[in-house]
């Protein structure tokens, strides 16, 4: 999938479409900027005036979302921007308007950034080609969810200081997960060793080509991992027969307290992009337990999206103090 053409901003890209083509230095620039925003937020200090101030961020969410939509909206508002939110049900796509015509119509209203969540892989790339403004991929089908992966990296750095040298395990429905794909690309670029574990029916064909280790058994996969990322079983995307039942999935791939205590490192981080299925991919004891950083991920989502918006509209690279 081709990436967006270059731009004169600090990232050197017009749009954020995925992590596959982001370099180490581009990811570093985004994480540093988010870290500066986090320090200011934690210290209750004012944010510097943003180039987005009094501009408009258009949010097209043509698939359901709580975290991504809410945090992009908050991020834009914390930067002083206005937002225009459209959802599939409330828009003229219900009357048959195409994505092309919808996007061109929105462009005519002169927003400064467009954020798109869509069920079709490649739809943000299409809009990037036809629109004269930055496009941010907020999740396209099974393909990528770059800001989720970047906020996950930010959270790992918060707790572990760095990503290089860490072992990260992703468990569950890798085949249908844009979060897994974006995380694999970004984590590997930043120097982590990535492994995946799940039923073979939920792993993409030739998964090893993504440069990951593959485990069939969760107990073996958990050993020595610094971070364990759990994925939601996406019932809306499964075809019949891919798993025998949710109960069977949980028996073999669900993470619970006794399993963690027996096989995982004592300081393992448990992550989940949400929404979680309590009692399926993890028990409430694990979701709400001392290893869980799930709500830290959510909080970082706002700050990371502020950084992405800031950088794409031409804000200077903010470097954190080492
Ligand atoms: N993680 C994530 O994308 O969650 P939402 O679907 O709630 O945005």
Note the pLDDT tens digit of each residue in 270-312: 999 999 999 999 999 999 999 999 999 999 999 999 999 999 9
Q: Provide CB contacts within 8 A for 253, sequence distance 6+.
A: 171, 172, 197, 198, 199, 218, 281
Q: What is the pTM of this model?
A: 0.96
Residues of the chain predicted below pLDDT 50: 1-2
Tell me, what's the pLDDT at 6?
77
As a whole number of angstroms, the distance between CA 297 and CA 272 comes to 8
Ligand 1 geometric centre to CA of 19 (Å): 17
Ligand 1 pocket check: which of 61, 62, 66 to mutate, most ligand atoms within 8 Å of Cβ?
66
Ligand 1 geometric centre to CA of 153 (Å): 16
Ligand 1 geometric centre to CA of 67 (Å): 5
Q: Provide CB contacts within 8 A for 207, sequence distance 6+.
A: 174, 196, 214
Ligand 1 pocket check: which of 62, 137, 139, 293 to mutate, most ligand atoms within 8 Å of Cβ?
139
As a whole number of angstroms, the distance between CA 157 and CA 62 comes to 31
Tell me, what's the pLDDT at 26?
98
Pocket of ligand 1, beta carbon within 6 A: 65-68, 139, 145, 148, 273-275
As a whole number of angstroms, the distance between CA 80 and CA 68 comes to 18
Residue 5's Cβ-count burial label (10 Å; 0-12, 13-18, 19+) is: exposed
Which ligand 1 atom lies nearest to the CA of residue 145? 3
Ligand 1 geometric centre to CA of 11 (Å): 25
The answer to whether 113 and 133 are in contact (CB under 8 A) is yes
The answer to whether 144 and 17 are in contact (CB under 8 A) is yes
Q: Is the dihedral of CA 89, 91, 92, 97 positive or negative?
A: negative
Ligand 1 pocket check: which of 60, 62, 68, 182 to mutate, most ligand atoms within 8 Å of Cβ?
68
Domains and CATH numbers, the chain: 24-144+301-312 (3.40.50.1370), 146-298 (3.40.50.1370)
Q: Whose CA is nearest to atom 1 of ligand 1?
A: 273
The answer to whether 14 and 20 are in contact (CB under 8 A) is no
Can you read off the two tokens belonging to residue 251? 């028996």
Tell me, what's the pLDDT at 7?
84
Question: Long-range contacts of range 189-192, CB-CB < 8 Å, 24 or more positions apart?
Answer: 189/19, 189/22, 189/23, 189/24, 189/27, 190/24, 190/27, 190/153, 190/163, 190/164, 191/163, 191/164, 191/165, 192/163, 192/164, 192/165, 192/166, 192/167, 192/168
- The values of phi and psi at residue 148, to 5°, are -65, -45
Tell me, what's the pLDDT at 237?
65
3-state secondary structure of 278: strand
The answer to whether 239 and 202 are in contact (CB under 8 A) is no
Tell me, what's the pLDDT at 3?
52
Ligand 1 geometric centre to CA of 214 (Å): 25
With b for 16 or more beta-carbon neighbours within 10 A and e for fewer, the 246-277 pattern comes to eeebbeebbbeeeebeebbbeebbbbbbbebb
Ligand 1 geometric centre to CA of 262 (Å): 31
């Amino acid at each position: 999938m081709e990436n967006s053409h270059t731009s004169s901003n600090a990232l050197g890209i017009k749009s954020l479409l995925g992590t596959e083509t982001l370099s180490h230095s581009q990811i570093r620039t985004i994480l540093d900027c988010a870290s500066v925003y986090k320090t200011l937020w934690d210290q209750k200090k004012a944010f510097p005036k943003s180039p987005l101030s009094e501009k408009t961020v258009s949010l097209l969410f043509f698939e359901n979302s709580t975290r991504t939509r809410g945090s992009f909206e908050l991020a834009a508002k914390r930067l002083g921007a206005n937002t225009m939110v459209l959802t599939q049900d409330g828009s003229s796509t219900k009357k048959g308007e195409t994505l092309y015509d919808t996007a061109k119509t929105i462009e005519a209203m002169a927003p400064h950034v467009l954020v798109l969540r869509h069920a079709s892989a490649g739809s943000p790339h299409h809009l990037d080609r036809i629109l004269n403004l930055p496009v941010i991929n907020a999740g396209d089908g099974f393909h990528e969810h770059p800001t989720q992966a970047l906020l996950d990296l930010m959270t790992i750095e918060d707790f572990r200081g760095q990503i290089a040298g860490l072992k990260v395990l992703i468990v569950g429905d890798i085949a249908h997960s844009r979060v897994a794909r974006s995380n694999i690309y970004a984590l590997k670029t930043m120097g982590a060793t990535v492994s995946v574990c799940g039923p073979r029916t939920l792993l993409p064909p030739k998964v090893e080509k993504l440069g990951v280790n593959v485990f069939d058994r969760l107990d073996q996969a958990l050993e020595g991992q610094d971070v364990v990322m759990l994925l939601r079983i996406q019932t809306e995307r499964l075809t019949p027969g891919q798993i025998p039942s949710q109960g069977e999935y949980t028996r073999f791939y669900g993470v619970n307290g006794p399993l963690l205590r027996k096989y995982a490192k004592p300081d393992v981080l448990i992550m989940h992009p949400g929404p979680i299925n309590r009692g399926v991919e993890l028990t409430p004891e694990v979701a709400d337990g001392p290893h869980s950083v799930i709500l830290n991920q959510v909080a970082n989502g706002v700050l990371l999206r502020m950084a992405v918006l800031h950088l794409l509209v031409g804000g200077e690279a903010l470097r954190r103090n080492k």
